[in-house]
């Protein structure tokens, strides 16, 4: 039996909806992170920059994989499973940092070697999305890139600045507009609890405004879980009064965000394992039902996911 041709550099992350996709690591880590070894750190590494809440790629310095190496992996995977693959995810956290020409060559090789391929997706940081013109994004769509996963996190500029997201709400909206004009589908992620209890309402309403302005095909909510990282989330925020939301506060924040949204034809999910309550529906058609499900869970906490089942 031939050895499996793909050798992943851990840790490897992908969106939940890409569970059945073949993954190719075209970059390693995230370009928004600067990592260095530090034996005194609990993780063995110290991170500078990057989103203050993020624990991904903390031990993996960013680099672009050699193009020849990636193309060789695609060729080998095509020979092994080419007739059985219809979905591909380009990892790690920053595939869109590659030049348009290099991405096009990778996409072209994928569709050549995987004859059943129907969709190719990747993460896209707001910075890298803003660095691309509509014409460049359209070239990628024409080459077969179908959808971008973008971490919106919040629509509130104060929250975005505090978590060091590296983009404003208006820049997020502009990036979303460019992707939409280029024909790329978008899946946006927001994080419940980022603002803490004092700014919860503002975070929810501002996030609803940005989601409405972008009107992505998909929107999903995660709930903030503070994992071990250096610096810690509390240190990064430099706010001793900040605390995690209670389950009820998190549900109310989600409810306020959904209630404030007017966009139509947005598929909303909160089925990530970090959430206390799994929701699924299409806005605005299913908004009354989603709000009613939240109200029911607020009245009966037994409907919430147990803490031991939550995770990132």
Tally of CA atoms within 13 A in the half-sphere of 276 that contains its CB:
24
Tell whether the torsion through CA atoms of 31, 33, 36 and 37 is positive or negative.
negative
Q: Pick 17-307's CATH classification: 3.30.1330.10, 3.80.30.20, 3.40.640.10, 3.30.43.10.
A: 3.80.30.20
Q: What is the pLDDT of residue 1?
A: 43
Give the rounded percent of residues in the chain with a pLDDT score beyond 90: 70
Domain parsing of the chain, residue ranges: 17-307
In degrees and rounded to multiples of 5, residue 126 shows phi and psi of: -55, -35
pTM: 0.91
Give the rounded percent of residues in the chain with a pLDDT score beyond 70: 89
Q: Are strands 22-25 and 266-269 parallel, antiparallel or unpaired?
A: unpaired
Asked if residue 176 lies in contact with residue 219, where contact means CB atoms within 8 angstroms, the answer is: no
Q: Are strands 87-91 and 119-123 parallel, antiparallel or unpaired?
A: parallel
Closest by alpha carbon to 17, among 143, 145, 121, 125? 121
Rounded average pLDDT over 7-19: 89
Q: Quick check: helix, strand or coil at residue 120? A: strand
pLDDT digits (tens, 9 = 90+) for 210-239: 999 999 999 999 999 877 665 667 666 667
Closest by alpha carbon to 159, among 52, 240, 249, 34? 52
Q: What is the pLDDT of residue 57?
A: 78
Burial (CB count within 10 angstroms: exposed 0-12, middle 13-18, buried 19+), residue 311: exposed
């Amino acid at each position: 039996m031939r050895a499996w041709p793909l050798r992943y550099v851990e840790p490897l992350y992908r969106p939940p909806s890409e569970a059945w996709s073949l993954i190719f690591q075209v970059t390693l880590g995230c370009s928004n992170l600067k990592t260095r070894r530090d034996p005194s750190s609990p993780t063995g590494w110290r991170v500078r920059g990057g989103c203050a809440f993020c624990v991904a790629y903390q031990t993996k310095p960013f680099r672009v994989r050699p193009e020849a190496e990636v193309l060789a992996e695609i060729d080998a995977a095509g020979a092994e499973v080419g007739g059985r693959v219809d979905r591909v995810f380009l990892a790690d956290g920053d595939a869109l940092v590659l030049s348009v020409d290099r991405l096009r060559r990778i996409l072209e090789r994928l569709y050549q070697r995987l004859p059943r391929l129907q969709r190719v997706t990747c993460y896209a940081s707001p910075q890298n999305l803003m660095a691309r013109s509509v014409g460049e994004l359209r070239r990628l769509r024409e080459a077969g890139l179908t959808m971008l996963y973008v971490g919106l996190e919040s629509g509130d500029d104060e929250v975005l600045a505090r978590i060091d997201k590296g983009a404003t709400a208006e820049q997020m909206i502009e990036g979303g507009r460019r992707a939409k004009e280029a024909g790329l589908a978008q899946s946006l992620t927001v994080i419940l609890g980022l603002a803490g209890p004092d700014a919860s309402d503002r975070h929810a309403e501002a996030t609803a405004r940005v989601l409405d302005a972008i009107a992505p095909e998909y929107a999903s909510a995660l709930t903030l879980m503070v994992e071990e990282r250096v610096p810690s989330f509390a240190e990064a925020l430099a706010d001793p009064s900040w605390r995690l939301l209670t389950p009820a506060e998190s549900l109310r924040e989600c409810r306020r965000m959904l209630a404030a949204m007017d966009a139509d034809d947005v598929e909303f999910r909160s089925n990530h394992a970090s959430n206390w309550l799994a929701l699924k529906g299409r806005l605005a058609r299913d908004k009354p039902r989603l709000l009613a499900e939240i109200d029911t869970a607020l009245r009966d906490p037994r409907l919430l996911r147990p803490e031991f089942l939550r995770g990132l």
